[in-house]
Amino acid sequence: MVKLILYNNNEKDIALKLIKEFWLCHNQWEQTDCEVLEDLRNWTTDKHKFYFIIYDDKKVGFIHLGSRGCEIDWLEDIFVLPEYQGKGIGNQAIYLIEKIVKEYSDSLYIEAAIRLYRKLGYDCLNTITIRKDFPKYEYDIINREKIYNLDFEIRKKQNKM
């Protein structure tokens, strides 16, 4: 069973270890202790939330949420230790974070790494942000798009008169 626990300062050592492992796994970058500490400070300020992912009573990863102006509703980072990947832990953690964010925000946003930014050649489309709208809110579909043979809707909130 997967659980999420909000970070507190008593768990600093495990958070630092997980952040260091995150950068090593994702970018083959070994951060200095100062860099890891700076990430933890930034990811636990007022405009951020840092949750541990708990699996079998072990801290096996984290979710970092951030605010880009309004609510803390951007999934900035998710990480599960390599030895725990492939077990559905990340999927369950996202489901749990959706339940948390639903309590105070209309949507959860992520930036999509479409086929790893088109194999790092990018090629101009600019930013693609995808979001999950929560059912209690009403949206009008104003367009439909297909990207990599996946269907997406472009929505806006319904005007209440």
Separation of alpha carbons 116 and 120, rounded Å: 6
Task: Note the pLDDT of residue 120.
Answer: 53
Task: Note the pLDDT of residue 111.
Answer: 66
| DSSP secondary structure code for residue 142 in this structure | E
Which 3 state secondary structure label does DSSP give 68?
coil
Is 157 or 51 the better-scoring residue by pLDDT?
A: 51
pTM for the full predicted model: 0.73
pLDDT 10s digits, 58-68 = 999 999 999 87
Task: Note the pLDDT of residue 116.
Answer: 45
pLDDT 10s digits, 97-153 = 989 998 888 788 776 555 544 555 545 454 566 676 776 567 777 778 777 677 877
123 Cβ neighbours under 8 A, 6+ residues apart: none
Confidence of residue 54 (pLDDT cuts 50, 70, 90): very high
Where in the sequence of the chain do the CATH 3.40.630.30 domains occur?
1-105
pLDDT 10s digits, 69-94 = 777 788 888 899 999 999 999 989 98
Q: Indicate the CATH number for domain 1-105.
A: 3.40.630.30
pLDDT 10s digits, 3-52 = 999 999 899 999 999 999 999 887 788 889 999 999 999 999 989 999 99
Asked if pLDDT for residue 2 goes beyond 80, the answer is: yes
Please report how the helices 12-27 and 33-43 are oriented relative to each other, as an axis angle in degrees rounded to 10: 110
Q: Which two tokens stand for residue 39?
A: 């990430």
Closest to 118 in 3D by CA, of 79, 74, 150, 148: 148
